[in-house]
């Protein structure tokens, strides 16, 4: 049964990939390749370990759950991949330096947070410079110069679709490695937990949950609807409850904000800003209000208590650095291997690494994103609110070091900010009026619109011969 379901869904995913490449090939640009490259680079260690069988599985004494870990050889190989990837990303970004326009504060803030999180490692006697930190700095610096708009959204959507398709194919070929046994508190519809080409079912589900908003923004028509349904099925197979909640929040945000609709009422934009602020506030307050029991939220209460205790005793204002949390597993054994990457709350992670300075920087970063996307705030809300929902009990964005979700942070930085709002299209040959199109224009459409705007502002004489150099977009009339 498991093999049949995985094989059938993998075939559907393959057909969706073919349709996506054929339908959206004109929107493909350097940012599409950039996001795809990062997505597979940061997941290469898990893919290599699972496909070659070089991983260990043991019972975690704290959570009483069997966890998978990479062996030393794969960790070293991952470091080499990071070095090569950083060089490739640097070359790709260098090619786009001449095209860089205005400064994007959100990308610069992301670089600043990354550098500071690694610099404060010195407070805990940990290395300030590492391969992972260097890769992260190169990646975020590249995000300051890469093209913004449709290409990045397409890259994130395609990465999610390629990961789901490859993972399902792997489950069909090797169900023993591509799945795990159910736990006492969690199980999927196949009486298994599907992890595919990631190290755990939660990892695969979070990839799908973060890719879902980009699929809605990047794809159109039946392709959009079928891809979303396919992604929902993959998340359901994983059994991840956090991701299922994030998917439900995404669908609700899409229904309320209608991010791809042409009309842009001011009230709906205001509602999107309020939704982002509310999601950020809930994520911040969840681990801080009341006396949370250690067993709450599947033992996340224990992680939150431990983080607050450590900060109160030692370094509440400057934090401990990006690598300090993992020492609680490797050195002291106070947390399980499954919690080694984060305190499982986005705000609390920044506070643990950078103190209250980290909290202020994260808040500033969120405000900068909203300001840069002021004309497309509904699209931002559909991506940002589910990410913050995940950040309440997990971590959607890793600023200090790369993880399997780094591509989502990069896609968020590049999805808008430099793009124009959906452009008008003519109603008919005789009306002389325009109305907003139902879908955002692609990269070429925005370039034509920007060129026309510059010509109108300069009041330069435009002859029919000169303007014919820019081929007008075809619009079907009904």
DSSP conformation letters of 134-152: HHHHHHHHHHTTS--SHHH
Q: What is the dihedral of CA 258, 259, 264, 267, to 10 degrees?
A: 60
Q: So what's the pLDDT on residue 59?
A: 67
pLDDT at 82: 72
Cα(135)–Cα(137) distance, rounded to whole angstroms? 6
DSSP code, position 423: P
Question: Who wins on pLDDT, 74 or 317?
Answer: 317
pLDDT band at 424 (very low <50, low <70, confident <90, very high): very low
Is residue 193 within 8 Å of residue 179, measured between CB atoms?
Answer: yes
CB-neighbour burial class of residue 100 (10 A; exposed 0-12, middle 13-18, buried 19+): middle
Average pLDDT over residues 343-365: 95
Taking the C-alpha atoms of residue 168 and residue 8, their distance in angstroms, rounded to an integer, is: 9
Q: What pLDDT does 435 receive?
A: 41
> How long a stretch of residues is the chain?
478
Q: Using an 8 Å Cβ cutoff, are 19 and 223 in contact?
A: yes
Q: Convert the pLDDT of each residue in 438-450 to its tens digit.
A: 444 444 555 556 6
State the average pLDDT over residues 338-358: 92
| Reported pTM | 0.83
What interhelical angle do 346-372 and 105-119 show, nearest 10? Answer: 160
Q: Quick one: DSSP state of residue 317?
A: T
Q: What CA–CA distance (Å, rounded) separates 147 from 151?
A: 8
H or E stretch at 210 = helix 201-218
pLDDT tens per residue, range 139-182: 998 888 888 899 999 999 999 999 999 999 999 999 999 999 88
Mean pLDDT across the chain: 83
Backbone dihedral angles phi then psi of residue 439, each to the nearest 5 degrees? -125, 150
Q: What is the pLDDT of residues 24-35, one digit of tens each?
A: 999 999 899 999
> Helix, strand, coil shares of the chain as percentages rounded to 5?
65, 5, 30
Following CA atoms 50, 53, 59, 65 in sequence, which dihedral angle do they give, to the nearest 10 degrees?
30
Q: Structure tokens of 311?
A: 């900060």
Burial label, 21 (beta-carbon count in 10 A; 0-12, 13-18, 19+): exposed
- The predicted structure's pLDDT at residue 77: 65
In angstroms, the first-to-last Cα distance of the chain is 48
What is the rounded CA–CA span in Å between residue 305 and residue 247? 28
Query: Closest Cα to residue 193, out of 128, 241, 126, 139?
Result: 241
Return the top range by mean pLDDT from 101-105, 375-379, 441-445, 464-468: 375-379
Q: Using CA atoms, how far apart are residues 155 and 151, in angstroms rounded to an integer? A: 6
The per-residue pLDDT for 268 is: 87
Q: Is 475 left (phi over 0), alpha (psi -120 to 50) or beta?
A: beta
């Amino acid at each position: 049964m498991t093999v049949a379901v995985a094989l059938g869904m993998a075939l559907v995913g393959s057909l969706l990939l073919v349709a996506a490449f054929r339908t959206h090939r004109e929107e493909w640009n350097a940012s599409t390749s950039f996001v795809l490259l990062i997505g597979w680079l940061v997941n290469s260690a898990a893919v290599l370990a699972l496909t070659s069988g070089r991983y260990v599985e043991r019972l975690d004494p704290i959570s009483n759950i069997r966890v998978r870990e990479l062996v030393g050889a794969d960790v070293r190989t991952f470091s080499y991949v990071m070095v090569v990837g950083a060089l490739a990303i640097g070359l790709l970004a260098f090619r786009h330096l001449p095209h860089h326009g205005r400064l994007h504060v959100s990308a610069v803030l992301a670089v600043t947070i990354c550098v500071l999180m690694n610099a404060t490692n010195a407070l805990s006697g940990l290395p300030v410079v590492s391969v992972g930190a260097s890769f992260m700095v190169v990646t975020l610096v590249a995000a300051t110069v890469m093209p913004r708009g449709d290409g990045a959204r397409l890259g994130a959507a395609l990465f999610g679709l390629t990961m789901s398709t490859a993972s399902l194919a792997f489950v069909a070929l090797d169900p023993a490695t591509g799945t795990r046994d159910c736990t006492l508190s969690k199980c999927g519809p196949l009486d298994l937990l599907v992890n595919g080409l990631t190290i755990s079912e939660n990892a695969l589900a979070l990839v799908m949950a973060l890719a879902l908003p980009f699929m809605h923004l990047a794809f159109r028509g039946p392709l959009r609807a079928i891809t979303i349904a396919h992604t929902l099925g993959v998340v359901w197979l994983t059994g991840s409850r956090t991701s299922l909640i994030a998917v439900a929040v995404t669908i609700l945000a899409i229904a309320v904000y209608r991010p791809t609709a042409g009309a842009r009422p001011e009230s709906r934009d205001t509602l999107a800003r309020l939704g982002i602020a509310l999601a950020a506030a809930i994520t911040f307050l969840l681990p801080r209000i009341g006396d949370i029991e250690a067993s709450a939220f599947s033992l996340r209460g224990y992680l939150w208590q431990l983080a607050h205790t450590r900060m109160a005793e030692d370094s509440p204002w400057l934090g401990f650095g990006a690598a300090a949390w993992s020492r609680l597993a490797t050195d002291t054994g106070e947390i399980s291997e499954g919690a080694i990457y984060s305190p499982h709350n986005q705000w609390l992670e920044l506070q643990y690494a950078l103190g209250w300075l980290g909290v202020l920087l994260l808040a500033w970063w969120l405000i900068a994103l909203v300001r840069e996307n002021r004309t497309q705030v509904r699209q931002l809300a559909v991506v940002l609110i589910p990410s913050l929902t995940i950040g309440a009990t997990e971590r959607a964005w890793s600023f200090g070091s790369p993880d399997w979700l780094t591509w989502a942070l990069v896609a968020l930085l590049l999805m808008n900010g430099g793009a124009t709002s959906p452009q008008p299209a003519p109603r008919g040959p005789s009306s002389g009026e325009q109305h907003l199109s139902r879908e955002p224009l692609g990269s070429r459409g925005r370039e034509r619109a920007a060129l026309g705007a510059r010509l109108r502002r300069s009041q330069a004489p435009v002859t029919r011969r000169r303007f014919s150099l820019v081929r007008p977009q075809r619009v079907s009339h009904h």
